[in-house]
Amino acid sequence: MAKSMTGFGRGEYADEKRRVTAEIRSVNHRYCDVNVRMPRKYSFAEEAVKNTVKKEIQRGKIDVNINVENLGEPDTELELNVALADKYMEKFRELAARFDLDDNVSVEHLTSLPDVLKAVPAEENEEEIISALTSAVASAAEVHDSMRTAEGERLAEDLISRGAVIDGLVKKIEERSPDVITEYYDRLKDHMKELIGDASVSEDRLLQEAAVFADKINVTEETVRLHSHVEELGLILADRSGPIGKKLDFLVQEMNREANTIGSKANDIEITRSVLLIKSEVEKIREQVQNIE
């Protein structure tokens, strides 16, 4: 089944603690390259996110952006360093005794000192976070896949139509090929008459020369294979077992090779024109195939 490698999808997950938003964008690429951007403190979930994406996407350059909004308890906690506060108080008392000062350090003053009271990230349940993030990503991947599938169907229709054009041009070549041999025979016969005048022309010799020419320009194998390749194009596009882009890429190379061989054998302007049109259609197919997973 044809799926485009270009697409976009957005998904959300929300519970009483947080709202997670995930966006997936992809473009064509030879391999599956997943890049994840999300808050650094959730980096432990990156591999799970990538695996979730790869369940839906096998080829392409994929960018995943994740945003997390905390709805419940704050995502930071206040930590009191009692040991450090004791050391501060010990030094304050030494100073008060040394200089005969009042020991009137307030709680406000003490907690304002460096590192006595500081905000630290709240501990969160990693499995819970991974579940929330992958749920949002899975939802985005589903939307993304729907877009890719729709675009893939349009690409498949275009490829099928171009395959039909190629098939028609191959039939024209097959219909034209016998006439090329007949015309060559007639030209050869006229040329021989011009050379030898009224003397009789050896029919066996003419037929032998025509047979050699016919064998030289014979493209039956190539046209049969091109018909087969067009049929295979339709079968691959209908295949729903997995990615088909690489299969199509190889098939296009084979189609181009057969067209080149026909062109090198052609000794006729009409066949050459058909070959040029075939190569043009094959190139358009190749361009489209570059965007199919």
pLDDT of 199 above 60: no
Bridge pairing between strands 117-121 and 18-27? unpaired
What is the CA angle 23-53-240, rounded to 5? 115
Whether 149 and 243 have beta carbons less than 8 Å apart is answered as no
What pLDDT is recorded for position 119?
78
Residues 6+ apart with CB under 8 A from 276: 263
Mean pLDDT in residue range 104-110: 83
What pLDDT is recorded for position 26?
97
Q: Is 189 helix (H, G, I), strand (E, B) or coil?
A: helix
Whole-prediction pTM: 0.72
List pLDDT tens digits, range 34-77. Answer: 999 999 989 999 999 999 999 999 999 999 999 999 876 666 77
Residue labelled with tokens 């008459």: 193
Lowest mean pLDDT, pick from 26-30, 49-53, 78-82, 153-157: 78-82
Question: How far, in Å, CA of 263 to CA of 273, rounded?
Answer: 9
List pLDDT tens digits, range 242-281. Answer: 899 999 999 999 999 999 999 988 888 999 999 999 999 9
Mean pLDDT in residue range 220-229: 94
Helices (H), 29-80: 46-54
Residue 192: band (very low, low, confident or very high) from pLDDT cuts 50, 70, 90: low
Of the candidates 66, 44, 45, 64, the one whose C-alpha atom is nearest the C-alpha of residue 53 is 64
Q: Which residue has the higher pLDDT, 98 or 199?
A: 98
Q: What are phi and psi of 123, to 5 degrees?
A: -70, 135
